[in-house]
Amino acid sequence: MILTIAQAILGIRVFKRLLYTTGGERIQPVRIDREALAADRVAIIVPVLNEYKRLAPCLEGLIAQGITVAEILVVDGGSTDGTQDLVRLYGQRDPRIRLIDASPIAPAWNGKVWGLQKGLDAVNPDCDWILTIDADVQPAAALAETLVMQARKRSLAALSIATLQKVEDSAQGLLHPSLLTTLVYRFGIPGNAIRKINAVQANGQCFLLRRDVLEKSGGFTIARDSVCEDITVARALVSAGYTIGFYEAGELVTTKMYENWRDAWRNWTRSLPMHDQFSGSNTLPGWLEILLVQALPLPLLLLLSLSKSPFRVARFLNGVLVMMRLGVLVGTTRAYQRRPWSYWFSPLCDLPVAIQLGISALRRRHTWRGRTFIRGGLS
């Protein structure tokens, strides 16, 4: 009975969140008003570390950006795989590309944040906007100008994109959607302006920020010891009274985040709990929503049905929650460029994902590319 009551309360919270965020705005490529954007100059910062195999498609998309993009700073944290040579080759094709060697990374910093801050320090003073792009992102030619127009239209201090995911093998097709769904349950559907810290969604893979607002808030240093630096920066801006946006953008931004399911399991679950200095008391309720509303209903419904349990209310409630989970599964199809057949069985991964996220939220020490991250400080 206690479990059923908890499920009902948290289920109502999740349902209201999904209902409230349904019908949000999606960014579409538009005809660019060059005159309206004449005064806007964007600096793109791409932090990299051993990204030789993934960086070329990203740079191809960046050099296709229009005149709004004034410079493209590729900030390297000490690559040893030929990444720097690749950037120099692209720099010969487009003079906007500059390589910044930011090695060695300071021991008290998240390596990506170190690169972002070094890039911000090197940005031309004439640039009004900072666009951070990860090496695994493939941007369409109209990306930068479209994002600036959206930010101007909605009076946003920053906005980021729920990138279109490339998932190619069946193992990832089984795991990745379960991980992605945890975001939908905790924060709702993308497509809205955000003014409350507990509603913040952000994605550092494609993140546009007003430069003056970012610098006034302390730059990227505010996230130097965060495991989820994009969320921390976004929460800091919202806590300072600014409005940010989080949107879907279709084919404007695509990405292949992980090479295989093991890579996703090890690395995405590190930052996905989104636990930082701004989380406060929201981490535990968010995790309980995943566990009791997303993960447990399917196994509980099977157990109650097979055992012919007399707990009819519990069976009915878990049936409703399973139907809600299937509805979200249908809704998240648009987050993927192509869906393997295993996508439709991804709810089977919900329980291990919920357990892993709980463990990750409690863990302070994380490892990423040979560096040990300690939430609240690095070694």
161-170 residue pLDDT tens: 999 999 989 9
User: What is the pLDDT, as a whole number, of residue 378?
Assistant: 45
**Strand 129-133 to strand 42-48: parallel, antiparallel, or no bridges (unpaired)?**
parallel
- CATH 3.90.550.10, the chain: domain bounds: 42-169+187-257
Q: Which of 59, 37, 40 is nearest to 141 (CA)?
A: 59
CB–CB of 173/339 below 8 Å? yes
User: Residue 379: which pLDDT band, with cuts at 50, 70 and 90?
Assistant: very low
CB–CB of 252/142 below 8 Å? yes
- Partner residues linked to 367 by β-bridges: 372
pLDDT at 363 over 80: no
Q: Which of 52, 102, 46 is nearest to 78 (CA)?
A: 102
User: What is the pLDDT, as a whole number, of residue 83?
Assistant: 95
User: What is the pLDDT, as a whole number, of residue 79?
Assistant: 92
Which comes out higher in pLDDT, residue 142 or 350?
350
Q: What average pLDDT does the structure give for the chain?
A: 92
Provide the whole-model pTM: 0.93
Question: What DSSP designation does 290 have?
Answer: I
Using one digit for the tens of pLDDT, what is the confidence trace for 63-73? 999 889 999 99
User: What is the pLDDT, as a whole number, of residue 287?
Assistant: 96
The conformational region for residue 3 under phi > 0 = left, psi -120 to 50 = alpha, else beta, is: alpha
What is the distance of C-alpha 332 from the center of its chain?
Answer: 15
For residue 250, count other CB atoms closer than 10 A to its CB: 16
Using one digit for the tens of pLDDT, what is the confidence trace for 111-163? 899 999 999 999 999 999 999 999 999 999 999 999 999 999 999 999 999 99
Integer Cα distance of 239 and 292 in angstroms = 29
Q: Quote the tokens at residue 335.
A: 């987050």
Integer Cα distance of 263 and 271 in angstroms = 13
pLDDT at 32 over 90: no
Integer Cα distance of 139 and 161 in angstroms = 11
Using one digit for the tens of pLDDT, what is the confidence trace for 230-286? 999 999 999 999 999 999 999 999 999 898 999 999 889 988 999 888 988 888 999
User: Residue 34: which pLDDT band, with cuts at 50, 70 and 90?
Assistant: low
User: Residue 39: which pLDDT band, with cuts at 50, 70 and 90?
Assistant: confident
Single-letter amino acid, residue 49: L
User: What is the pLDDT, as a whole number, of residue 368?
Assistant: 59
Q: What is the rounded average pLDDT of the residues 314-330?
A: 97
pLDDT at 204 over 60: yes
Q: Which of 38, 36, 46, 30 is nearest to 68 (CA)?
A: 38
Q: What is the DSSP string of 129-172?
A: EEEEE-TTEEE-TTHHHHHHHHHHHHT-SEEEEEPEEE--SHHH
- CATH number 3.90.550.10 given to 42-169+187-257: yes
Q: Which of 235, 271, 264 is nearest to 373 (CA)?
A: 271
- Angle CA(328)–CA(300)–CA(167) in degrees, nearest 5? 35
User: What is the pLDDT, as a whole number, of residue 145?
Assistant: 92
Share of residues in the chain with pLDDT > 90 (%)? 80
Integer Cα distance of 140 and 130 in angstroms = 17
CB within 8 Å of 199: residues ≥ 6 apart: 187, 188
Is the C-alpha dihedral spanning 229, 279, 218, 194 positive or negative? Answer: positive
Integer Cα distance of 333 and 344 in angstroms = 10
Which comes out higher in pLDDT, residue 311 or 96?
96
